[in-house]
Structure 1
Amino acid sequence: MTDTHEAAQALVTAGKRLVDAGLSPGSSGNISARAGDDILLSPTGSALDRLDPDGLTVLRLDGALIKGPRPSKEYPLHLAFYRRSTQTAAVVHVHSPYAAAASLLPAWRPHSALPPLTPYFVMRVGQAPLIPYAAPGDADQARLIERHEMAFRAVLLQNHGPVTSGRTVEEAVDATIELEEASRLAILTAGQRVNVLTAEQARSLAEQYGSPWEV
């Protein structure tokens, strides 16, 4: 995404969608989009359904404030995803209930906190590793995400919640919704014997849809 106005409007729409879906209560969560070399980010303490396209924070990739109000303290998470890939055009971080609950549990595997319970999780999210706990806004945690050798477009922050990215704002929001749904299924079936996709089924979907998934 290269147009600042387009990016700002997309964030306003995305914020309302996330709140309407029940994924960002109160002033929790933060969202961002890339516009050329700039990063547009929801300001600190913002309710995502009340974002002003002219009142967003604008940062450089090095974290320097270009204009606008003070950014969310969790802006290093966003910058980490942008630095990982030039294909990343948007980042969403919310405290959605089921994904936050899933972040309290042991990871299914080192490469993904959640198993491939549905094809849509593999297709729209891909593997989402569990990142060790750190206080919100911790720069070391952001650096761990930025330098992580594993391929991913989303993570679960332990005892915190999800962070997803996408090639568009809409794609990042879709991934957030899908990650929440996969987390809901994982919580509802916890302790039960469930059928997950086989390694070959997950690999085939990942290859078809270009999503990261290690076997």
Structure 2
Amino acid sequence: MDAKFLSQCFHDLYQLGLTTSSGGNISMLQSDEIVCISPSQIDKAYLKPHDFAFLSLKGEQLGNNKPSMEYPFHLSLYRKFPHIKTVVHIHPPAFVALSLLSKNDYELKGKSEKFNLGFADYAIPGSDLLGVNVCEAFNNEIDVVLMQNHGVIAIGKELSVVIERIIELNQAIIKHFNLGSILDNFSLTGKFNLKSKNSSRFYEVRARHFLSVKNEVKMVEDQERDLFTVAIHLKSLGLLALSKFSTHIIPESFLILRDPLFQNKKFDKAQIDDYLKLFDDQMNVLIFMDGWALICGTSLYNLYDKMEVLDFTAKVTLIAQKMGQFDLLSDSQILELKEKFL
């Protein structure tokens, strides 16, 4: 029952644009002190109850499903706060943008206090240090915490109440910073049918609904290179100066997109074959000055994931610019991500 409820909640959060398909994790503590948690490396919008993983509070994996790599802070929170029954960690663009503001900047301190948010110092995802930082940021008065250059995490007794709290805070942040003029560019239209079909047509329609694409999306299979490619024209990229775009805002953006290659010229469809020759194992995203991007992926979902995170990264950057001065991950933090994950 818990896994079914958790999967539906993740579906709903995704439909609301409050997380990406590869970002975030969610868990519930069962009565027998077993933690039911979302898995690693599975499209969050299409989680099924049988996809969830189970852990003991000691961190012992129960069953074959691999838990989210960020399970350590879930377990740390359950151990420190015995009264809570659920932990929700997601990447809403407004929260993520707020998490980029310098911790020492009066803007972040003041805004965090205004929204009754705790603040957790950055640490690499999945690390014990991240668990320590997150736990220290919570107390009896704080139930939602900003994770520096990462996202938001909330705890509570009831999952539906925790999610509602995040949604209310998200709206409060949008209103306070007057973000409507930016977010209106990316409003979703209607409700997308989340019945999963692993076909190019399915992902093309999904992109038209959830992403700020301006063109008809066409995913192409490159059998010679054993890759899938797509050229997309993103409204988010078009609104952002090329020099302002960076994947170094949060770990998810860098790990999914690496360091794209920027082209200080307009996209030309006639030159796609030449553009593809620039790709290698470390670089598979080209960004052009007119808001176009050319992307390669190893599968249809991998390609869609990159499209989504590219759009998300541009949106977050636009929002952060509106909020004030913000910080990217440092060179040493990027190196740490490379050494651990790439």
Q: Please report the TM-score for the alignment, with normalisation by the length of structure 2.
A: 0.47
Contact residue 111 and residue 128 of structure 1 kept, 8 A: no
Per-residue displacement from partner, 1:165-211 (whole Å, max 9, x unpaired)?
A: 1211111211221232233234337779xxxxxxxxxxxxxxxxxxx
Tell me which of 169, 172, 179 is aligned to 2:162: 172
Specify the SS of the correspondent of 2:124. coil
Question: Offset of 1:40 from its aligned partner?
Answer: 0.5
Specify the SS of the correspondent of 1:62. coil
- Which residue number in structure 2 is paired with residue 25 of structure 1? 20
- Which residue number in structure 2 is paired with residue 82 of structure 1? 78
Contact residue 112 and residue 129 of structure 1 kept, 8 A: no
Question: Offset of 1:17 from its aligned partner?
Answer: 0.9
- Which residue number in structure 1 is paired with residue 9 of structure 2? 14
Alignment of 1:157 with 2:153, yes or no, is no
Cα 1:91/1:111, change in 2 over 3 Å: farther
Structure 1 or 2, whichever has the larger Rg, is 2
Distance across 2 between alignment mates of 1:8 and 1:111? 38
Q: Which amino acid aligns with 1:115?
A: K
Question: Offset of 1:148 from its aligned partner?
Answer: 5.1
Alignment of 1:102 with 2:98, yes or no, is yes
- Which residue number in structure 1 is paired with residue 218 of structure 2? none
Alignment of 1:182 with 2:172, yes or no, is yes
Q: Please report the TM-score for the alignment, with normalisation by the length of structure 1.
A: 0.73
Structure number with greater CO (CA < 8 Å, separation at least 6) is: 1
Per-residue displacement from partner, 1:138-188 (whole Å, max 9, x unpaired)?
A: 211202333557432121000111001121111121122123223323433
Distance across 2 between alignment mates of 1:110 and 1:83? 28
Distance across 1 between alignment mates of 2:9 and 2:36? 13
Specify the SS of the correspondent of 2:49. coil
The structure with the greater share of residues assigned to helix is 2
Per-residue displacement from partner, 1:87-136 (whole Å, max 9, x unpaired)?
A: 211111111100000001245576972514xxxxxxxxxx3211111111
Give the RMSD, CA atoms, in angstroms.
2.4
Query: Quick check: 27-36 or 183-192, which moved more?
Result: 183-192
Query: Quick check: 135-144 or 156-165, which moved more?
Result: 135-144
